[in-house]
Chain A
Amino acid sequence: QASADANRPFAGLSDVSISEDIPVEGDISVPVGPSARRDDEFSTLDEPVKETVLRDLRAVGKKFVHVLYPKRSTALLRDWDLWGPLLLCVTLALLLQGGAADSDYQGGPQFAEVFVIVWFGSIIITINSKLLGGTISFFQSLCVLGYCILPLTVAMAVCRIVLVAGSGSVSFAVRLVVVTASFGWSTFASTAFLADSQPANRKALVVYPVFLFYFVIGWMVLTFSPSQ
């Protein structure tokens, strides 16, 4: 008896009739995941390009704010995107480019070098954290690591401004302080997002490669010297 009822859940409603004078109203739209998003995409195809670009820029800007004030939030992880890391990587590589303008002096990092370091370093750190039992996905981790380069990029801009003023030991001391502070900030910000996804006793194993990664980038920023 119970199984018969279970097979026909609406069996009891067969005798209900809807009269035509009673207006039926209400919202019967059911939020279905994929098709709703597909409708969204189709509707944004007609909007002006400026709106699309501004919307993406606003999302990137919101994530920048999250990096600058790192709290234990999942905003960076939930809607990850790789626009921000790309922008930051290109900016950093361009800022580091000025010192190596002379082709004979190859001591400075080339554009491609910075790119390769940032992206392959992030990939290696991500694979390492996944192998250590992390619960974060591949692209989420790339997103977090890329966004946390922001303090170092800001430090690079500051260093270039300081170098315009002069390149003595005072400017070196100032640059050292700025780079060290931003390196610490980057590491702290990225561990605030990444360490939560690891088992408690292995946090140090994940933090060390992140520390090394930002150390190398910070080192490139600090030892940048413009061509005479």
Chain B
Amino acid sequence: MSAGSGNKNTEPWGSFDDNLIQGSGSAVIDMENMDDTSGSSFEDMGELHQRMKEEEEVTEEAAATEDHEDGEFLGMKGLKGQLGRQVADEVWQAGKRQASRAFNLYANIDILRPYFDVEPVQVRSRLMESMIPVRMINFPQKIAGELYGPLMLVFTLVAILLHGMKTSDTIIREGTLMGTAIGTCFGYWLGVSSFIYFLAYLVNAQITMLQMLSLLGYGLFGHCVVLLVSYNIHFHFLFYVLWLLCGGLSTLRMVAALLSRTVGQTPRLLLCGTLSVLHMLFLLYLHFAYHKIVEGLLDSLEGPNMVPMQRVARDVPELTINATVRSLVPLLRAH
């Protein structure tokens, strides 16, 4: 069909124009440019669209400049003015083209689109599975690479944290409640993911950054549940039980997934030990730092063995005055 391309243009609608698709006259269809939604060719598709748009723009511009040149000849002064305007116009067009190309390449949210391609049932089943450790550690476990669930869980954790901070009247000196909550949750998710990914890179574990983000994000589901319960029911014993149970289960799930993708005893110990310590301690920190425990209840339940962490204390004016007086008095006495 495309053997003698160019001279068989009998169809009024332009027939199969290979030049448009490939940019050359070959009859072989380049698989790279096929429209598939596997997610790996999005940059290619973006570039292809950009190339086609640019071709259109160039032909439009050529037509526009042709029309302009066919205009009247205004003499030498007019010519310089026209030339200057044309040059300025072309510089503007070139700059705009560069900027729009850069914008389309970097600010293209289509790059993230495949990571949000989920159904509600999938999200629900992944949430349930995040609390169930899988025993198979000799073969790499499948980790879903999606970002919708983890992102929503981080935001839910922020909301729960706000609730806890409000009900306990946490006083924050530098910064705001909202800023602290968002900073803590996102900092944990992104920071610990990057750190564990870096360790995994060092010990050559088979896990990608996306999978790590997804794994840790879903591991926060246990945290959300525990904090939701413990911020409303102020039973210390209940919190410890839930900390071990839910925190432990979600940690075990993450650890098993990591174990299945790491080779060697020491790397496994390093990676999984770090992750479990960080994950469990984070839950402990969230409970104690943002939630003032009712003193009487604490004493009545298990004795004063655990002092609640408090934020920066207020300055007490009397103490500072006393301190300055005490430091000044010897000076005065010396004279």
Contact = CB atoms under 8 A, between A and B. Distances in A.
Interface of A: 104-107, 109-110, 113, 116-117, 127-128, 130-133, 201-202, 204-205, 208-209, 212, 215-216, 219, 223
A132 B151 CA distance: 13
B102 interface: no
A104 B113 contact: no
Interface centre among A117, A201, A205 (most CB of B within 10 A): A205
B159 A212 contact: yes
Contacts of B109: 127, 130-131
Contacts of A205: 118-120, 123, 148
Interface stretch (B173-181, B248-256, B317-325): B173-181
B176 A215 contact: no
Given A113-B179, A205-B148, A216-B162, A106 B172 contact: yes
Interface in B134-173: 148, 151-152, 155-156, 159, 162-163, 165-166, 169-173
27 contacts: A104-B314, A106-B171, A106-B172, A106-B173, A106-B176, A107-B165, A107-B166, A107-B177, A109-B176, A110-B176, A113-B176, A113-B177, A113-B179, A128-B151, A131-B109, A131-B112, A131-B116, A132-B116, A201-B120, A202-B119, A204-B120, A205-B120, A209-B152, A212-B152, A219-B159, A219-B162, A219-B166
Nearest to B149: A205
Given A104-B314, A205-B118, A209-B152, A116 B178 contact: yes
Contacts of B178: 109, 113, 116-117
A202 B118 CA distance: 8
Contacts of B116: 128, 131-132
B159 A215 contact: yes
Interface residues of B, number: 28
Contact of A202 (B120, B152, B179): B120
A1 B151 CA distance: 65
A132 B119 CA distance: 10
A109 B179 CA distance: 10
Contacts of A132: 116, 148
B145 to A, nearest CB: 15
Contact of B171 (A105, A116, A127, A209): A105
A107 B166 CA distance: 7
Nearest to B123: A205
Interface string B87-99: 0000000000000
Contacts of A133: 113
Given A117-B178, A202-B119, A212-B159, 11 more contacts: A106-B171, A106-B176, A107-B177, A109-B176, A109-B177, A110-B176, A202-B120, A209-B152, A209-B155, A219-B166, A223-B166
A215 B160 CA distance: 11
B171 A107 contact: yes
Nearest to A129: B116
Nearest to B122: A205
Contact of A106 (B118, B123, B166, B177): B177
Contacts of A204: 120
B317 to A, nearest CB: 12
Contacts of B155: 209, 212
Contacts of A201: 119-120
Contacts of A219: 159, 162-163, 166
Contacts of B148: 128, 132, 205
A133 B37 CA distance: 13
A128 B178 CA distance: 21
A113 B163 CA distance: 16
A132 to B, nearest CB: 6
A208 B176 contact: no
A192 to B, nearest CB: 19
Contacts of B173: 106
Interface string B104-116: 0000010011001
Contacts of B172: 106-107
Q: Which of A106, A109, A117, A201 has the most CB of B within 10 A?
A: A106
A109 B169 CA distance: 13
A205 B120 CA distance: 6
A116 B179 CA distance: 10
A212 B176 CA distance: 20
A222 B123 CA distance: 31
Contacts of B170: 107
Contacts of B156: 212
Nearest to B112: A131
B152 A208 contact: yes
A215 B112 CA distance: 26
In the A-B complex, the 8 residue pairs with the closest CB atoms: A131-B116, A204-B120, A223-B166, A113-B178, A113-B176, A131-B113, A216-B159, A132-B116
